[in-house]
Structure 1
Amino acid sequence: MPNRRQFLRQTAAFGLIAGLLPGIASTTEVNAASMPSAAEPEVTREVDVLVVGGGTAGTIAAIQAGRAGASVLLVERNSQLGGTMTTGGVAFPGLFDAWGKQVIAGIGWELVKESVELDEGTLPDFAKVPQRHWHNQVYINQFLYAILAEEKCAEAGVEIAYYEFPQAVTKTGDGWEVDCVGFGTKRRVCCRQIIDCTGGAEVVGLLGLPRLREEERQPGSFLFMLGQAHEPGRNQIHQLYVHGADSTNSRTVTLANLTGRKSILAKVREENKRLMHLQPETGFRESYRIQGETLITVNDYASGRVFDDAVCYAFYPVDLHTRTGVKPQPLKLGTVPTIPLRALIPKDSRNLMVAGRCVSSDRLANSGLRVQASCMGMGQAAGVAATLAAKAGTTPLEVPLKKIHDLLRNHGAIIPGDAR
């Protein structure tokens, strides 16, 4: 057996040869600035705003809160930001426009636009009203989006905690005490405000506040590519419905993933094509929704009701997926729905908001509200409201609406009535 010195010489020689041979990838080394000690799993953190869930809405909420001057911790149970866009693979976000005008902008659009530009992609012309709604959705490179999102969080001073999730939430005199757990880590967070962006309002559920959900959920989609290379930011990939997909807990998510992968393996064998790309998990369309201070009904949505406390627009057909597929119901010409602040606040709660697909809404309204651009708009509004409430020592509903609107405008968002 060679001694250590011989082993090191052989390893160095192999590295030199590997660098010269074609077909062997070179290795670039980077160092993490500071690694936490495994011997110190207990972490206490005090912040103004805790954002739970780093998906479509949560990423934007955290960046907005950080840019507005709040100290922010973003807790995400997976390994990257972006949620449905990145881990789910639906890298085709929409809709940022309606009837020839941009209606959703701000931080979400900034991130999408930079992702496309860095990837040398193409942006749609919002001045043109498309024949089909999806013509103005944006192709993005999901891998670039995830790391650009991390960069923007860092620039905004947002701390990210991957692989962690709340296990207990307790009210305190001026906010919350949240116990989070990850492998090798226990974290206690003391915060003034919580923004629940988990998709299924899981923090709201931990608190025992009312949530809404149908017995049957829309099918999830497992995204993959057979027989040809997937070109991120240039094309859509194949999708397979996973019926009964439920993101309620780890057991139901496991079942959905196993079911989807089993079906894709059967397709590989049946079609005799190479599997070229596979997303790591199912993309889910619906789970729990909150019962908020206001509930958005499908009539509110389809009529384009302008709520008194509207904080952003939404735009997409009513888009309910079933076992037989989906038949989008387009909105009438000129109709642009709005989302009220009260739909982001669980009923009878304080110092707590949600953003994203768990917004307070009935099922049909939610089928249009749940898409990525609308979730980004909600996330930015929640980030502003939570930050202003934290600074004032109050709760979001008590923050003057004008202050919320003014700060949103300062950060590039479009307020209902301001469409470009």
Structure 2
Amino acid sequence: MAIASTTHVALARRDGTNVSSEPEELGTDLTTDVDVVVVGGGTAGSIAAIQAGRAGAKTLLLERSGQLGGMTTVGGVCYPGLFDAWGKQIIAGIGWELVKESVELDGGTLPNFAKVPKAHHHNQVTINQFVYSILAEEKCVDAGVEIAYHEFIQNAKATPTGWELNCAGFGTNRRVRCKQIVDCTGGAEVVGLLGYKRMREDETQPGSYLFQLGGEHRVGRKQLHQIYVHGADSTNSRTVTEAKLAGRQLVLEKLREAKGTKRLMHLQPEPGFRESYRIVGETMITVNDYTSGRKFDDAICNAFYPVDLHTKTGVRPKPLKPGTVPTIPLRALIPKGSRNIIVAGRCVSSDRLANSGLRVQAPCMAMGQAAGVAAALAAKKGTTPLEVPLAEIHQLLAKHGAIIPGKV
């Protein structure tokens, strides 16, 4: 049997052009030169990559799993929110575009944001996680983003023009030279690898394992059952393994308790993690900033969700006062003292209570889009994200459909 020595995969954009047309030799080291590397293709990272690509930056997206969407898809938290507050939409842009198209393609329904719901979760958007994942891929391809699944950074060093990263996957060693990094790993893994400060509590919020026991799992129409996994920690492969084993054992116990009266109809491959490391940023969002709706001078997006800290006894959301819409500043996405790196997602610089509201999907998507803009502009200008004029960031965000704080 003949074994081919090369592979040639050409992904076609919807306009008929190819993303890559050069064959790569199997088993050899790769060198990739790009403007922006986005690490983590989850809720924030997929949006950051699409935005950077649409802004004209040559972009590489590294994702250690085999699909995009993170907690929205692999974790099964497929009811993102909140895009609205007090009867109006406060978060839009690429994240909303992806959510809206996922619902429309699946024949679902969208909430009416003009109505203030009795409970915040009534306006979370139920989506088909499988549709969302492949739509996110298509949007990356259309934006010219190169996706590298099953790859992660092993080490990195600063260069005069940015960074040099050594990445690995099974059968793949890749050297990446880039100008900017967007860390969307959830726990600021790249920030930690580079030696910048991170913070976390000794005890983290429980994760949730999502499953369906008995009855059809109505994908995109109904939320899954969930069970707490106490001590769930996404810090490294060992702690993630422990959380998976613990969660699956709990589901198995539920199945045994049913004594054959119910079948296991669905089980997510990953637990939904709520909390890990957060960066020590150029500024920190406190719970008082969050609950007062502080309008930061360098705000790049809005956020909205109750203070939502999960404990061993459950969760009692604390709603925000009527009319309150928190904002997220650019400086909270910048690791203190750093250059040429920005984060997005739940690792945003914030105290624990503020983070319990900031960590949900719509604000993470908005942060991802803002980080993609800042990184793309910094790469183009040969500077660092914090030195890009805020007006230019706002202008490009608005061009791509985002809602700028104070412009609702």
TM-score by length of 1: 0.91
Tell me which amino acid in the other structure corresponds to 2:196: L
Tell me which amino acid in the other structure corresponds to 1:403: E
Distance 1:171 1:140, change over 3 A: same
Query: Using the alignment, how far apart are the partners of 1:256 and 1:417 within structure 2?
Result: 41
**Cα offset, 1:336, TM superposition:** 0.2
Q: Which residue of 2 aligns with 1:194?
A: 181
Pairing of 1:267-286 with structure 2 (within 5 A): 267-272=254-259, 273-286=262-275
Contact 2:213 2:255 in 1 (8 A): yes
CA deviations 1:146-194 (Å, max 9, x no partner) are 0000000000000000000001010000100011110110101000000
| Alignment pair present for 1:231 and 2:231 | no
| Alignment pair present for 1:38 and 2:16 | no
**Cα offset, 1:208, TM superposition:** 1.0
Query: Using the alignment, how far apart are the partners of 1:37 and 1:252 within structure 2?
Result: 35
Q: Which residue of 2 aligns with 1:375?
A: 364
**Cα offset, 1:281, TM superposition:** 1.2
Q: Which residue of 2 aligns with 1:394?
A: 383
Q: Which residue of 2 aligns with 1:365?
A: 354
**Cα offset, 1:38, TM superposition:** 2.8
SS class of match (2:135) = helix
Q: Which residue of 1 aligns with 2:99?
A: 112
- The correspondence for 1:57, drawn from 44, 52, 67, is 44
Query: Using the alignment, how far apart are the partners of 1:158 and 1:301 within structure 2?
Result: 34
Unpaired runs of 5+ in structure 2? 2-7, 11-20
Tell me which amino acid in the other structure corresponds to 1:39: G
**Cα offset, 1:323, TM superposition:** 0.2
SS class of match (2:44) = helix
Tell me which amino acid in the other structure corresponds to 1:274: R
CA deviations 1:208-245 (Å, max 9, x no partner) are 11001000000000000001111111000000100000
Query: Using the alignment, how far apart are the partners of 2:271 and 2:24 within structure 1?
Result: 31
Query: Using the alignment, how far apart are the partners of 1:38 and 1:271 within structure 2?
Result: 49
Pairing of 1:13-412 with structure 2 (within 5 A): 32-33=9-10, 36-40=24-28, 42-272=29-259, 273-412=262-401
Query: Using the alignment, how far apart are the partners of 2:319 and 2:156 within structure 1?
Result: 41
Query: Using the alignment, how far apart are the partners of 2:349 and 2:374 within structure 1?
Result: 17
CA deviations 1:32-54 (Å, max 9, x no partner) are 547744332x1100000000000
Q: Which residue of 1 aligns with 2:17?
A: none
Query: Using the alignment, how far apart are the partners of 2:344 and 2:27 within structure 1?
Result: 36
TM-score by length of 2: 0.94
SS class of match (1:405) = helix
**Cα offset, 1:356, TM superposition:** 0.2
Query: Using the alignment, how far apart are the partners of 2:86 and 2:157 within structure 1?
Result: 45
Contact 2:27 2:172 in 1 (8 A): no
Identical aligned pairs, as a percentage?
74
**Cα offset, 1:305, TM superposition:** 0.1
CA deviations 1:55-112 (Å, max 9, x no partner) are 0000000000000000000000000000000000000000000000100000000000
Query: Using the alignment, how far apart are the partners of 2:265 and 2:367 within structure 1?
Result: 35
Distance 1:185 1:214, change over 3 A: same
Contact 2:156 2:165 in 1 (8 A): yes
Query: Using the alignment, how far apart are the partners of 2:205 and 2:376 within structure 1?
Result: 34
Tell me which amino acid in the other structure corresponds to 1:305: R
Query: Using the alignment, how far apart are the partners of 1:312 and 1:227 within structure 2?
Result: 41
Query: Using the alignment, how far apart are the partners of 1:269 and 1:126 within structure 2?
Result: 42
Tell me which amino acid in the other structure corresponds to 2:221: R
Tell me which amino acid in the other structure corresponds to 1:369: L
Query: Using the alignment, how far apart are the partners of 1:233 and 1:323 within structure 2?
Result: 29
Query: Using the alignment, how far apart are the partners of 1:253 and 1:148 within structure 2?
Result: 27
Tell me which amino acid in the other structure corresponds to 2:291: A
Tell me which amino acid in the other structure corresponds to 2:211: F
Query: Using the alignment, how far apart are the partners of 1:107 and 1:174 within structure 2?
Result: 29
Query: Using the alignment, how far apart are the partners of 1:353 and 1:405 within structure 2?
Result: 16
**Cα offset, 1:403, TM superposition:** 0.3
SS class of match (1:333) = coil
Query: Using the alignment, how far apart are the partners of 1:397 and 1:241 within structure 2?
Result: 39
Query: Using the alignment, how far apart are the partners of 2:25 and 2:122 within structure 1?
Result: 49
Query: Using the alignment, how far apart are the partners of 1:388 and 1:251 within structure 2?
Result: 37
Query: Using the alignment, how far apart are the partners of 2:385 and 2:35 within structure 1?
Result: 13
Contact 2:204 2:231 in 1 (8 A): yes
Query: Using the alignment, how far apart are the partners of 2:147 and 2:80 within structure 1?
Result: 23
**Cα offset, 1:271, TM superposition:** 1.1
Query: Using the alignment, how far apart are the partners of 2:310 and 2:60 within structure 1?
Result: 34
Query: Using the alignment, how far apart are the partners of 1:36 and 1:274 within structure 2?
Result: 45
SS class of match (2:179) = strand
Query: Using the alignment, how far apart are the partners of 1:43 and 1:337 within structure 2?
Result: 43
